[in-house]
């Protein structure tokens, strides 16, 4: 059963290689207030022994919707309808603000999230609160280490977050405007990793 996340990860990477612009819809698990228009976002995610495949489409300015399938070790994974609406766009003086949700037949996770650059360039903070998995609150910060890609070295960011259960930290490598990958550590729960691909229309 433990081989399943690795197999799904390899299949997803192959899919990205066969198919062929950069805010993030979340850090690792903490959502952000960013919503991209006319963009299809595909991702694979492995965190706290649960893997997931998702697709999110920005179908109208400030609105996105999609599906996310979770695969749990006990076989009780959930299929979620995911929605997000940007309410306020981030400016120099005001944080961005969005409402979102992950809805299945027997579980509903709803949240409000604010995102803001925190003084120095490349440093952003995010805070979310809501119902379900968001009821304890979530918060995170990310910082871009090298904003300009040099040679074959991808643009790299570091992040730290509290996801309502514990602390996570790690690195995000942006290989191109379309493709990024993250590698993190969920303290007390092992390694987390994921791949994200965006296609603009």
Q: What per-residue confidence (pLDDT) applies to 121?
A: 84
Q: What per-residue confidence (pLDDT) applies to 5?
A: 46
The secondary structure of 41-67 as a DSSP string is: EEEEEEETTEEEEEEEEEEETTEEEEE
pTM of the model: 0.81
> For residue 159, which of 109, 128, 122, 121 has the smallest C-alpha distance?
122
Tokens of 22: 């950069």
CA distances from 153 to 110, 140, 174 (A): 37, 25, 9
**Pair type for strands 167-174 and 155-162:** antiparallel
Q: What per-residue confidence (pLDDT) applies to 23?
A: 54
> For residue 12, which of 43, 40, 39 has the smallest C-alpha distance?
43
Half-sphere CA count of 11, side-chain side, radius 13 A: 11
Distance CA 26, CA 21 (A): 16
CA distances from 123 to 89, 144, 157, 158, 159 (A): 17, 7, 9, 10, 10
Q: What per-residue confidence (pLDDT) applies to 20?
A: 30
Q: What per-residue confidence (pLDDT) applies to 1?
A: 43
Q: What per-residue confidence (pLDDT) applies to 149?
A: 67
Q: Which residues of the chain have pLDDT under 50?
A: 1-2, 5-22
Q: What per-residue confidence (pLDDT) applies to 102?
A: 96
Sole residue written with tokens 């695969």: 71
Strands (E), the chain: 39-47, 50-60, 63-71, 79-88, 96-103, 108-117, 123-130, 138-144, 155-162, 167-174, 179-186, 190-200
């Amino acid at each position: 059963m433990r081989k399943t996340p690795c197999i799904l990860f390899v299949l997803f990477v192959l899919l990205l290689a066969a198919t062929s612009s950069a805010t993030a819809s979340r850090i690792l698990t903490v959502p952000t207030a960013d919503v991209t228009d006319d963009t299809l976002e595909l991702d694979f995610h492995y965190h706290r022994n649960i893997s997931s495949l998702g697709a999110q489409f920005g179908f109208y300015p400030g609105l996105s919707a999609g599906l996310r399938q979770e695969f749990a070790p006990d076989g009780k994974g959930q299929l979620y309808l995911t929605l997000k609406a940007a309410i306020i766009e981030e400016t120099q003086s005001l944080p961005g603000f969005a409402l979102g949700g992950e809805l299945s037949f027997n579980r509903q996770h709803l949240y409000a999230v604010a995102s803001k650059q925190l003084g120095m360039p490349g440093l952003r903070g995010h805070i979310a609160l809501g119902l379900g998995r968001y009821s304890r609150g979530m918060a995170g910060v990310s910082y871009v280490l090298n904003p300009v890609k040099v040679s074959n070295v991808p643009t790299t960011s570091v992040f730290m977050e509290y996801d309502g259960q514990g602390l996570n930290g790690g690195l995000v490598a942006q290989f191109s405007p379309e493709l990024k990958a993250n590698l993190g550590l969920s303290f007390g729960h092992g390694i987390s990793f994921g791949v994200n691909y965006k296609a603009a229309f």
